[in-house]
């Protein structure tokens, strides 16, 4: 974790101390500015924390592995079949453009793609778009760019996050937009953010870029709950969906099977609705994001 401002370093150090003292987790080591520069060759950072007890995963391979496990368990997966509406309680009838499904239980796991499907929970989340790129293989430059095989993120409000792929590419995430439309040139959009962190990559080609929609809540806690005894939902992972959506799936499965204690812990912590509901949340968010993005640059 890289401190983007000098004041951020003390917060990271305090966090590491709290984890060691209160949770018995002694694996975060505070890094000076020089130590950070030796690990991450960027002029942007003022030190940080190295967490030797953490790990990172390949999220696409993880998703494919989950899909294979589901199919092996008898699940039928239907891509490109968005749900238009649902109704009823026993059974629930879920409608798509080409058919309908009847089920004893329904899980709304749409997150940033909820749209207008369920207005009762739409005002608790804000969909935003985030983007990534992959450079051409960097060769010997890769080990100089990130000396430790770590996954890195900084402390800016509009966060930058990056790591090296197995074949020596830099995978870099940065930049957000707040409308349904993606930038016309994703490579150029993310590249601007990458060059602020790594200006030495100006001549390196960008070979791939992609993006997706996530959902944030006002207090950044996920939103769990029930809309009926057999209708569950989980959403609002606020950028931490790889881990937290997996946890949500486990807890909803437990609840449907009859053991809801762990699910109910999260359901008792609902995030507040966005002021103005779904109609006015967007302009309010854009103003807020612009303000915090300006603070990032100051």
Q: Cβ contacts of residue 220 below 8 Å, gap of 6+? A: 238, 271
Q: Which two tokens stand for residue 179?
A: 């409308």
Q: How would residue 274 be classed by pLDDT, with cut points 50, 70 and 90?
A: confident
Q: What is the pLDDT of residue 278?
A: 61
Q: What is the pLDDT of residue 246?
A: 95
The model's pLDDT over 29-72, given as tens digits with 9 standing for 90+, comes to 999 999 999 999 999 999 999 999 998 899 999 999 999 999 99
Could you please state the CATH topology (level 3) that the domain comprising 59-125+218-294 is classified under.
FAD/NAD(P)-binding domain (3.50.50)
Q: What is the pLDDT of residue 282?
A: 64
Q: What is the pLDDT of residue 179?
A: 81
The model's pLDDT over 96-131, given as tens digits with 9 standing for 90+, comes to 999 999 999 999 999 999 999 999 999 999 999 999
What rounded mean pLDDT belongs to the chain? 93
The model's pLDDT over 183-212, given as tens digits with 9 standing for 90+, comes to 999 999 999 999 999 999 999 999 999 999
Q: How would residue 279 be classed by pLDDT, with cut points 50, 70 and 90?
A: low
Contact between 240 and 111 under an 8 Å Cβ cutoff? The reply is no
Spans of all domains in the chain: 1-54, 59-125+218-294
Strands 126-135 and 170-177: antiparallel
């Amino acid at each position: 974790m890289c401190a983007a401002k000098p004041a951020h370093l003390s917060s990271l150090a305090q966090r590491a101390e709290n984890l060691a003292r209160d949770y018995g987790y002694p694996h975060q080591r505070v890094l000076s500015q020089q130590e950070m520069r030796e690990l991450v060759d960027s002029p942007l950072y003022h030190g940080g924390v190295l967490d030797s007890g953490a790990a990172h995963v390949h999220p696409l391979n993880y998703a494919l592995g989950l899909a294979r496990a589901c199919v092996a368990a008898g699940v039928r997966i239907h891509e490109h079949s968005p749900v238009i509406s649902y109704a009823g309680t026993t059974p629930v009838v879920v409608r798509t453009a080409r058919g309908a499904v009847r089920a004893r239980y329904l899980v709304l796991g749409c997150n940033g793609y909820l749209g207008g499907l369920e207005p009762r929970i739409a005002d608790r989340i804000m969909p935003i778009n985030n983007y990534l790129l992959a450079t051409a293989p960097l060769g010997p430059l890769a080990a100089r760019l990130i000396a430790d095989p770590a996954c890195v993120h900084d402390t800016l409000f509009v966060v930058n996050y990056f790591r090296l792929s197995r074949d020596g590419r830099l995978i870099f995430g940065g930049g957000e937009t707040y409308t349904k439309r993606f930038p016309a040139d994703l490579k150029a959009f993310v590249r601007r953010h990458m060059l602020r962190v790594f200006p030495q990559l100006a001549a390196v080609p960008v070979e791939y870029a992609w993006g997706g929609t996530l959902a944030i809540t006002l207090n950044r806690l996920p939103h769990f709950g029930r809309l009926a005894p057999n209708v569950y939902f989980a959403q609002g992972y606020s950028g931490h969906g790889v881990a937290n959506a997996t946890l949500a799936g486990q807890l909803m499965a437990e609840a449907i099977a009859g053991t809801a204690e762990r699910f109910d812990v999260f359901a008792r912590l609902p995030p507040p609705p966005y002021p103005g509901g779904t109609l006015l949340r967007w302009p309010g968010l854009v103003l807020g994001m612009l303000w915090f993005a300006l603070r990032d640059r100051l």
